[in-house]
Amino acid sequence: MEAVVDAARILVSGAGIDERLLRPLYDLGFQVVPIGREEPLTAQALRRELAGAVAYLHGGDEHVSEEALELADDLKVIAFLGVGYETFVDVAAVRRRGILVTNTPAAAMDAVAEFTVGQIINANRRIPRHLGTLHPHWAGAEELPGELVSKKIGIVGLGRTGTQIAKILRCGFGCRVSYYNRTRREDQEQALGVRFRQLSELAEWSDILVVMVSGNAETAGMIDRRILGRVRPGTILVNTARPSVVDPEALRDALAAGRLGMAVFDGYYQDSSVAKDLLNDFGDRMYVTGHIASHTKQSMERMAGQAVRSVVNVLSGLPDPNVVVR
Amino acid sequence: MEAVVDAARILVSGAGIDERLLRPLYDLGFQVVPIGREEPLTAQALRRELAGAVAYLHGGDEHVSEEALELADDLKVIAFLGVGYETFVDVAAVRRRGILVTNTPAAAMDAVAEFTVGQIINANRRIPRHLGTLHPHWAGAEELPGELVSKKIGIVGLGRTGTQIAKILRCGFGCRVSYYNRTRREDQEQALGVRFRQLSELAEWSDILVVMVSGNAETAGMIDRRILGRVRPGTILVNTARPSVVDPEALRDALAAGRLGMAVFDGYYQDSSVAKDLLNDFGDRMYVTGHIASHTKQSMERMAGQAVRSVVNVLSGLPDPNVVVR
């Protein structure tokens, strides 16, 4: 590849993006700069990288704060790989600066739904605890898990991914499924045989409560002390959406009181004072992964493909269907 | 409970059986003796316990060998909790002694199918490796897993449990599923949209090969060097049936050559010379659990309930529908 000097720079963050998917950007003469492959960039480091960049494919776990944007005078577009950009991008700050944000709806539906169902089974059967144990061992009969088919599963958020999770649980496993959604989905109630319940009623009804809503100002702390006060002892909370949807102090208290038997997170609190305590005190009852639910070859290809098209559209002055902040 | 002296003894092995399920045996005046709750009994220990016992509920992981039966002159029935008794009971030895064996068909279908699908997702997405990692980390794009919906899944053995696994994968996840079975199941081909393939062809076709046949003399080493020689590099082998179905040396060679990317076992080789080497050399690519796939509250209740009924039937001289060796 020939050296491109003074070409406009496009940042690409996160691991797992196949170089070949970025080919259109190289072909258009841009300088493509990978950042934050090892770990999320600090605001200071991101600030330096953004100086002079015209576009930014956000495929990592870093937060694009006001401070990080201070030198981003040339930045036209942040193409977020995923749906819930609001956790990762300071929307007010980009809006003030006239930077567009795009996302990649639907690209990761199967990846996230499959991962979530896997973690539901892991939490329900405690499979990770048994890995490497060569003979069955139970303290007693009361320790045996119940079958998924016997469980009542509540889904908070019946968007694309929530609906796919409901479909797998209903049509595959034959579980009883209810849901809460801002707007009722009578089409899915018919198609899948799922029942609408108000959020607090759903919390009380569910043996396993699955959270699948976008992380934003409206959903921050949606699963709070009031909701977790309603769950029955031993309930399993599976949050493969953003951690911010669950209030960390309410989570701590629900785990401490045994109302939550297990909690599953994909992506973890970055700056809560109770985040470390939670893992120290209840680590054996928390399955935490690092925001990987959407990370499959196929979803990454779809996400990167959509993001590249959005960047090209915006930089070319063309309309783009995936603009979510302008 | 009053002391019962000289009452006929019934042995109950394994952890996780609720005492209340054994109530009918107490009520009939038997002395119920739990054995092997901590770890599987040796032949010598089992031999001592079996002296004078009239019945034996086998819910553990111990092997009932010729030697273990030497003093079992009063034993009328071994009620095996599960389907595949032949791995755990020396059939020729019990037959010679006129001891009946019963099992508990269908009791654990959901438990095993749910566990198996959980382990399919675990192996496909490598979830256990990511537990406790708070940020996404990939060595590169080539490390990203593929989505289950894109995978070709081969099921070896389309009995009750294999069929339930196929149903979950087809109707829930929308995977492509083929199967091998001793006898073709055209009913299920129609109902589930699964396709029959000969075993070696299935091995070559599958991205994920799931083994779900009973462990017995006929299936011992069924997945051998010839079959594992046909799989494509990176294939995932999920054996939640008995370990004996997979030849351990062929497994070692397939893992070493990279033809198998991952191997999942529930219950592990007891006496193979390569068993330890396998775990030492390929432990990070093997998810092994201790024969717990069937262990749920519901299946244990069904299994224990059926086994207790069989014991009462046999000791009362009544016919029993679940006699498998007489």
- pLDDT of B160-177, one tens digit each? 999 999 999 999 999 999
CB-based burial label for B49 (10 Å; 0-12, 13-18, 19+): buried
**Out of A132, A289, A299, whose CB is closest to B127?**
A289
ipTM of this complex > 0.85?
Answer: yes
| Closest chain A residue to B16, measured at CA | A141
Q: Which two tokens stand for residue B33?
A: 């003796």
Chain A residue numbers with beta carbons less than 8 Å from the beta carbon of B149 are 110, 114
B271 touches chain A (CB under 8 A): no
In this predicted structure, the answer to whether residue A141 has a pLDDT above a threshold of 90 is: no
**Out of A127, A141, A295, whose CB is closest to B16?**
A141
Sheet of B9-13: strand order equals: B31-35, B9-13, B53-58, B77-80, B100-102, B323-325
B320 touches chain A (CB under 8 A): no
What gap in Å lies between CA B49 and CA A104, rounded to an integer?
64
Q: Which two tokens stand for residue A108?
A: 């990761």
Q: Which two tokens stand for residue B164?
A: 């339930």
What gap in Å lies between CA A80 and CA A98, rounded to an integer?
16
pLDDT the model gives residue B271: 74
pLDDT the model gives residue A1: 45
Chain B residue numbers with beta carbons less than 8 Å from the beta carbon of A283 are 132
Three-state DSSP state, B73: coil
**Out of A19, A125, A300, whose CB is closest to B144?**
A300
Cβ pairs A/B, distance under 8 A: 195
pLDDT < 50 stretches in chain B: 1-4
pLDDT the model gives residue A280: 93
- pLDDT band of residue A14 (cuts 50, 70, 90) is confident
Is B136 close to A169, i.e. CB distance below 8 A? no
What gap in Å lies between CA B173 and CA B175, rounded to an integer?
6
pLDDT the model gives residue B5: 54
**Out of B125, B150, B288, whose CB is closest to A132?**
B288
Interface test with B, best of A117, A135, A171, A303 (most B CBs within 10 A): A135
What gap in Å lies between CA B134 and CA B247, rounded to an integer?
38
Three-state DSSP state, A94: helix
What gap in Å lies between CA B286 and CA B91, rounded to an integer?
31
pLDDT the model gives residue B317: 95
| Closest chain B residue to A275, measured at CA | B134
Chain A residue numbers with beta carbons less than 8 Å from the beta carbon of B172 are 117, 167-169, 171-173
Beta bridge partners of A223: A246
Interfacial A residues in 229-268 facing B (CB < 8 Å): 268
- pLDDT band of residue A58 (cuts 50, 70, 90) is very high
Chain A residue numbers with beta carbons less than 8 Å from the beta carbon of B136 are 14-16, 60-61, 290-292, 295
pLDDT the model gives residue B89: 95
In this predicted structure, the answer to whether residue A3 has a pLDDT above a threshold of 60 is: no
- pLDDT band of residue A5 (cuts 50, 70, 90) is low
What is the percentage of chain B residues whose pLDDT exceeds 70? 98
Q: H or E stretch including B80? A: strand B77-80
Is A141 close to B292, i.e. CB distance below 8 A? no
Q: Which of A105, A87, A82 is nearest to A300 (CA)?
A: A82
Interface test with A, best of B62, B81, B134 (most A CBs within 10 A): B134
pLDDT the model gives residue B37: 78
What count of Cα atoms within 13 Å lies in the side-chain half-sphere of residue B285?
20
**Out of A124, A136, A169, whose CB is closest to B292?**
A136
- How far B265 CA sits from the closest chain A CA (Å)? 10
- pLDDT band of residue A266 (cuts 50, 70, 90) is very high
Buried-state track B207-230, b at ≥16 Cβ within 10 A, e below 16: bbbbbbbbbbeebeebbeeebbeb
The pTM assigned to this predicted structure is 0.92
**Out of A18, A111, A145, whose CB is closest to B297?**
A145
What gap in Å lies between CA A139 and CA A258, rounded to an integer?
18
| Closest chain B residue to A283, measured at CA | B132
- pLDDT band of residue A84 (cuts 50, 70, 90) is confident
Interfacial B residues in 172-191 facing A (CB < 8 Å): 172-173
Which tens digit of pLDDT belongs to each residue from B266-310? Answer: 999 987 789 899 999 999 999 999 999 999 999 999 999 999 999
**Out of B111, B283, B287, whose CB is closest to A147?**
B111
Interfacial B residues in 106-165 facing A (CB < 8 Å): 110-111, 114-115, 117-119, 121-122, 124-125, 127-128, 130-150
In this predicted structure, the answer to whether residue A116 has a pLDDT above a threshold of 70 is: yes
Q: For chain B, what is the mean pLDDT?
A: 93
Chain B residue numbers with beta carbons less than 8 Å from the beta carbon of A122 are 118, 122, 127
Interfacial B residues in 277-306 facing A (CB < 8 Å): 283, 287-292, 295-300
CB-based burial label for A258 (10 Å; 0-12, 13-18, 19+): exposed
| Closest chain A residue to B20, measured at CA | A141
Three-state DSSP state, B32: strand
Interface test with A, best of B116, B167, B238, B292 (most A CBs within 10 A): B292
Domains annotated for chain A, with CATH where assigned, are: 9-106+296-325 (3.40.50.720), 109-289 (3.40.50.720)
> Mean pLDDT, to the nearest integer, of A235-241?
97
In this predicted structure, the answer to whether residue A4 has a pLDDT above a threshold of 70 is: no
| Closest chain B residue to A137, measured at CA | B15
Is B127 close to A118, i.e. CB distance below 8 A? yes
pLDDT the model gives residue A177: 98
Which tens digit of pLDDT belongs to each residue from B80-113? Answer: 999 889 989 999 999 999 999 999 988 999 999 9
Interfacial A residues in 37-56 facing B (CB < 8 Å): 38-40
